Amino acid sequence: MNPSTTRRLLGYALVYKYRIVAALLILCCAVGAELGGPYITKTIIDKHLSIDERDIGAVLRLLGLYMGLLLTASVCNFTQSYLLQATALRIIKNMRIDLMRHIGRIPLKYFDNTPIGQVVSRIANDTEAVRDLFMSFMATFVVSLVQLAGIYTALFILDARLALYALLLPPLFVVIMYVHLKYSKVFITIMRARLSDMNAMINESIVVMPIIQAFRREKVTIEEFEVLNEDRYVNQVKQFRVFSLSSRNIVGTIGSLVTAYVVWYFGRESLQTAISFGVFYAFIDYMGRIFQPIIGIFDQLTNAQRAFVSAEKVFAIMDIEGKEVEDTAGVNRPEGVVKFDNVTFAYKEGENVLKGISFEARRGETVALVGHTGSGKSSIMNLLLGFYEPQQGVITIDGRDISSFSKQALRKHMGIVLQDPFLFAGDIKFNVSLYNKDISIDRVKDALREVGAASFIEQLPGGYDEQVVERGSTLSSGQRQLISFARALAFDPSILILDEATASIDSETEGLIQQALKVVSEGRTTLVIAHRLSTIREADQILVLHRGEIVERGNHRELMALQGRYFKMYQLQTGEQASAAGDVPAGTDIAANAAAASKSM
């Protein structure tokens, strides 16, 4: 077991040290009450039920004491169990909250390389396994140790010489436990890893189920899942095999042998001296009780190992360097002047996706980024939002380096609309305001009205209170996009980022959005990643990217007159409509340029 993991788990437990100590003291009382029973029985047999003396009154008093001890033990066991389990639930609640808080601090690149299902498995399954450590193993382990201490104390009182022989049992069981843990951990680690892989695959399969069914991949998906499931099953069988050989089986065998030895020992002694039947009964009773806590520990060893393996995975996420989520109450609204100064960036070292990017977007201006897939458009937006850090160059807002802002302060006055809009489970008004107290229902309605979404929302049965399932699958892509536009506008950003936001909507909806954007872009810095070049004709500046570099810049008419890469892209999308719209200088051969463009793209 990793000492660091043990220390950190202990740190969570020490928050409730007084509750745990109280539970353990109550546990000691319960164990003491339980262990007093055999000694009382021995006293009744030897002193009050002999042929020479039958003191029924004393027997009844001792039986009353025995019943009182049983009742005390029952109450104490309930109390300590309730305290320990309630404490364990609090510990896991704190651990889950810490994990969720830290996930919000982790850089975005971690999630680029980690399946969502694995992260979910850490928060749900692994923390639940750690809960078993505190609820089951800790209680069992402590109970067992207290019971063993009490049993050995009673054994020494009854017969010191035989009790010394019994002291050989704990070291023997420790060796057996060590072997059990050594071989079992390998299988448990694989089992937990396969569970995470299975969760990741299930999550991915559910998200893309329409694609799986459309391309008839159901059988292949099941086969891939079965490989993971079979591997987990095989390792689980191996782990159970180790458990079966080293737990109840071997403990039961040793227990039977020890009991036989005790009977032989007292039988031999009875040939030489008179042996008290009460002592014999008590010793057999206590020896039998030695193996109960040992079996209890063995039964919980698997849970303990699973908990430690899970805790290591949880703490591995917590050890990922992150940045604190800071309060943004005092952050002033920026003017919104965005400047990239010779910025170079690579997701992987030596593979630059942006090379010497420089441009400036002033307040009230719309800057559009165009280029083929992989040219670096989205990377520019990711850098501006602070999801990644550039290797070279400086990005500033109002002349201040964005690296000097906290991530929350940087993004407070930014609004973003993605190509694939995401709606949360909840009603429509929540999906616009995201429970921001500064956004009233009137502001939500205004934002929806500005983007042209109010008309279809008011026709829904619940109106603005209509429930939306996760990802908004009951709404059309255009309706989801309009709601995501309203979400960005409701936050009244200084900088508005549109990442191919009109690529998945129809022409009529696009017209509504274009009309709304003319209003909402007033006074804001708007950066647009454009797929449809017709949507950025009115942009103040268009940056054409190719292989991570800006190869052309200017407004629509300037770039069309240049007849470069943008001109060819526009022709491929619009054909002869470009000439009809007056975008192409007279005398240009549309067909020839289109053919040349198709060769160069």
pLDDT digits (tens, 9 = 90+) for 166-203: 788 888 888 888 887 788 878 888 888 888 888 888 87
Residue bearing tokens 């229902």: 441
Q: Which residues touch 313 (CB under 8 Å, ≥6 apart)?
A: 122, 126, 192, 196
On the question of pLDDT at 558 being above 80, the answer is yes
Share of the chain above pLDDT 70, in %: 87
The domains spanning 333-413+493-554 and 422-492 adopt the same CATH topology: yes
Measured CA to CA in angstroms, residue 556 lies from 378, 460, 546, 547, 548 at distances of 21, 40, 17, 21, 21
Report the pLDDT averaged over residues 312-330.
80
Who has greater pLDDT, 322 or 342? 342
On the question of pLDDT at 600 being above 60, the answer is no
Q: Residue 237 phi/psi, 5° resolution? A: -60, -45
The pLDDT tens digits of the residues spanning 290-311 come to: 887 888 787 777 778 778 888 8
Of 119-123, 298-302, 395-399, 490-494, the least confident: 298-302
Instruction: State residue 601's pLDDT score.
Output: 39
Instruction: State residue 556's pLDDT score.
Output: 93
- Of 278-282, 283-287, 368-372, 534-538, which has the strongest mean pLDDT? 368-372
Whether the CB-CB separation of 550 and 359 falls below 8 Å is answered with: yes
Who has greater pLDDT, 227 or 49? 227
Whether the CB-CB separation of 565 and 533 falls below 8 Å is answered with: no
What element of type H or E holds 242? helix 218-246
CA 25 to chain centre: 36
Q: Which residues touch 408 (CB under 8 Å, ≥6 apart)?
A: 325, 326, 327, 328
Instruction: State residue 395's pLDDT score.
Output: 96
Residue 598: pLDDT band with limits 50, 70, 90 = very low
Whether the CB-CB separation of 337 and 314 falls below 8 Å is answered with: no
Q: Residue 410: name the closest of 328, 287, 469, 515 by CA.
A: 328
Strand partners, 528: 368, 498
Which pTM value belongs to this model? 0.66
Q: Give the separation between CA 566 and CA 552, rounded to whole angstroms.
A: 8
Level-2 CATH architecture, domain 422-492: 3-Layer(aba) Sandwich (3.40)
Who has greater pLDDT, 581 or 571? 571
On the question of pLDDT at 242 being above 90, the answer is no
Domain residue limits, the chain? 3-318, 333-413+493-554, 422-492, 556-601
Whether the CB-CB separation of 377 and 392 falls below 8 Å is answered with: no
Of 199-213, 333-347, 433-447, the least confident: 199-213
On the question of pLDDT at 10 being above 90, the answer is no
Report the pLDDT averaged over residues 430-434.
89
Level-2 CATH architecture, domain 3-318: Up-down Bundle (1.20)
Q: Residue 473: name the closest of 99, 207, 103, 152 by CA.
A: 207
On the question of pLDDT at 583 being above 60, the answer is no
What element of type H or E holds 352? strand 351-361
Q: Residue 365: name the closest of 542, 553, 530 by CA.
A: 542
Whether the CB-CB separation of 24 and 264 falls below 8 Å is answered with: no
On the question of pLDDT at 597 being above 60, the answer is no
Q: Give the separation between CA 354 and CA 345, rounded to whole angstroms.
A: 5
Of 322-326, 368-372, 464-468, the least confident: 322-326
In terms of DSSP H, where are the helices of 104-168? 108-112, 116-121, 127-132, 138-158, 160-166
Q: Residue 341: name the closest of 141, 550, 85 by CA.
A: 550
On the question of pLDDT at 207 being above 80, the answer is no
Q: Residue 92: name the closest of 44, 116, 127, 124 by CA.
A: 127
SS3 193: helix
On the question of pLDDT at 274 being above 60, the answer is no
On the question of pLDDT at 398 being above 90, the answer is yes
Largest CA distance in the chain: 134
Geometric angle at alpha carbon 589, from 586 and 592, rounded to 5°: 160
Residue 369: pLDDT band with limits 50, 70, 90 = very high
Pairing of strands 392-397, 338-348: antiparallel
On the question of pLDDT at 280 being above 90, the answer is no
Geometric angle at alpha carbon 235, from 232 and 240, rounded to 5°: 120
Whether the CB-CB separation of 345 and 353 falls below 8 Å is answered with: yes
CATH of 333-413+493-554, one of 3.90.1150.10, 1.10.8.60, 3.40.50.150, 3.40.50.300: 3.40.50.300
Q: Give the separation between CA 211 and CA 217, rounded to whole angstroms.
A: 8
Instruction: State residue 352's pLDDT score.
Output: 93
Residue 450: pLDDT band with limits 50, 70, 90 = confident
Whether the CB-CB separation of 50 and 293 falls below 8 Å is answered with: no
Q: Which residues touch 382 (CB under 8 Å, ≥6 apart)?
A: 108, 388
Whether the CB-CB separation of 130 and 307 falls below 8 Å is answered with: yes
On the question of pLDDT at 595 being above 70, the answer is no
Handedness of CA 440, 442, 446, 448 (dihedral sign): positive
On the question of pLDDT at 367 being above 90, the answer is yes
Average pLDDT for the chain: 81
The pLDDT tens digits of the residues spanning 62-117 come to: 888 888 888 988 898 888 888 888 888 898 889 889 988 888 888 777 887 777 77
Q: Give the separation between CA 310 and CA 241, rounded to whole angstroms.
A: 21
